[in-house]
Each structure stands twice: as structure tokens, then as C-alpha cells.
Amino acid sequence: QVTLKESGPGILQPSQTLSLTCTFSGFSLSTYGMGVGWIRQPSGKGLEWLANIWWDDDKYYNPSLKNRLTISKDTSNNQAFLKITNVDTADTATYYCARIEGILRIISWFAYWGQGTLVTVSS
Amino acid sequence: DTVLTQSPALAVSPGERVTISCKASESVSTRMHWYQQKPGQQPKLLIYKASNLASGVPARFSGSGSGTDFTLTIDPVEADDTATYFCQQSWNGDTFGAGTKLELK
């Protein structure tokens, strides 16, 4: 059974760095073809893809946020991470991690999602 | 960026057939996927690669299309289908449509 769970600080101040953790089970990010992505959703709004990381440590970022994002993984502990630097109120959202399925990086979709973690940026 | 355009909202009666559209700003082949999100819940995969039903999803749901025009069909609609439906393309990075809110009359 595949499960994912996000964790984060809850609230942080503008200009700080947001650190998010995705702890998962039912698969390994060291397995060929596996990937995990991060997606966020401001309250009442749509979904915004942020970044993907693959089993071979290949990484892809949303071009509009690339300079602020860093995705990484710890395969030993079944975790993936996302850091967002210099946050402001526009980064307030629910952040989801999801397991990617598909044909390697050629075509992929988000098959399993965590429940999300709400992050509020406020002074 | 590949922009996905969805109608904002639809209202249908239970038992009817509903089609939800998603138009891409450029061809994405069949790299289009659909998700259902109910209030307070995470998104759930419904359809992948334009027309493939995800595991455990009722056969009332179906997807079609290729290139720039895609459709998610629910037939017949049930009360439990009240949700927002998002399309996602994976041809050029990953982007989502703004979502279509489905309400039942």
C-alpha cells in the first residue's frame, strides 16, 4: 500500500526558507523509474506543480520558481524534501507530495497523493 | 509554458451525462491526465494518458482526446461526483488547468 505524508513548519515569516518533508511507504525512491513530485494549492485556488525528483536523482523544477526551489531525497529513510527560499505571503498554500507513475520521464502522472500540509507565511 | 483552459463550473442533475473539457495551448499528444478533488481532500487520479482509467475508479468515468482538446465524461453522474476536476499535462513540464467545479442540481 502506497502512502505519503507531508510535514512542514505550519507558519513562517516572510523572507524565511520553507522546508518540507514527504515521508512515504509502499515504494522506494531507489527503484528504477520511481519519482516523487511536489504540488501546492492556495486555499480555494488551483494546483501548481513545483518540482519532481527521480530515482536516479534527476530533478525538474517549475521554471517560474526554479531559482527558489531545491528538491532532494533520502532513500534510506524513504523521504523526499523541498526547500523554498525567500518566502512571501504568495507562498501560503497547502503543499502536497505525490508519487509519480508513468513511462520514466517521457510521460508521467501523479498517481498517489499525500493529504497535504498547510503552510502560512505571515509576519 | 503550456496553458490548460477549463470551464470554471458546471451544474447537472444526477443521472445525466456530463462532459468536462480541457484545451491545451499547444499539442500535448496524449500526455493529459485528470484528477478529482473533493472539498478538504487531496486530488485523486481518475484518468491517465488521456483515456486510461486509474485503478479503482468507476467505469462511469472516461477520458478522450489528443493533441489540444480533451474531455472527461461522467455517465451517469452521481451525487458523490460533486467535486472540482483538474486536467494536467506532462508534455512540457507539468501544468494543471484551473479546474472545473461540478455541482449537482
Residue B1 has pLDDT above 90, yes or no: no
| Cell, residue A85 | 527560499
Q: Determine the pLDDT at residue A105.
A: 78
Q: Give the mean pLDDT of A70-96.
A: 98
CB contact under 8 A, B90 and A101: no
CB contact under 8 A, A113 and B42: yes
3-state secondary structure of B91: coil
Q: Is B57 on the interface with A (CB under 8 A)?
A: no
CB contact under 8 A, A96 and B96: no
| Cell, residue B46 | 481518475
Average pLDDT, chain B: 97
Beta strands in chain A (DSSP E): 3-7, 11-12, 18-25, 35-41, 48-54, 59-61, 69-74, 79-84, 93-103, 107-113, 117-121
How many angstroms separate the CA atoms of B65 and A20, rounded? 36
Kindly indicate the confidence band of residue A63, based on its pLDDT and cuts at 50, 70 and 90.
very high
Residue A120 has pLDDT above 80, yes or no: yes
Q: Is A63 on the interface with B (CB under 8 A)?
A: yes
The per-residue pLDDT for range A37-62, each reduced to its tens digit, is 999 999 999 999 999 999 999 999 99
Give chain A positions within 8 Å (CB) of B51. Answer: none
Kindly indicate the confidence band of residue A106, based on its pLDDT and cuts at 50, 70 and 90.
confident
Number of residues written out for chain B:
105
The per-residue pLDDT for range A4-42, each reduced to its tens digit, is 999 999 999 999 999 999 999 999 999 999 999 999 999
CB contact under 8 A, B94 and A52: yes
Give chain B positions within 8 Å (CB) of A62. Answer: 93-94
Q: Determine the pLDDT at residue B48.
A: 97
Nearest to A46 among B31, B90, B99 (CB): B99
Q: Give the mean pLDDT of B14-42.
A: 97
Q: Determine the pLDDT at residue A107.
A: 87
Contacts (Cβ under 8 Å, ≥6 apart) of B49 = A107, A109, B30, B31, B32, B33
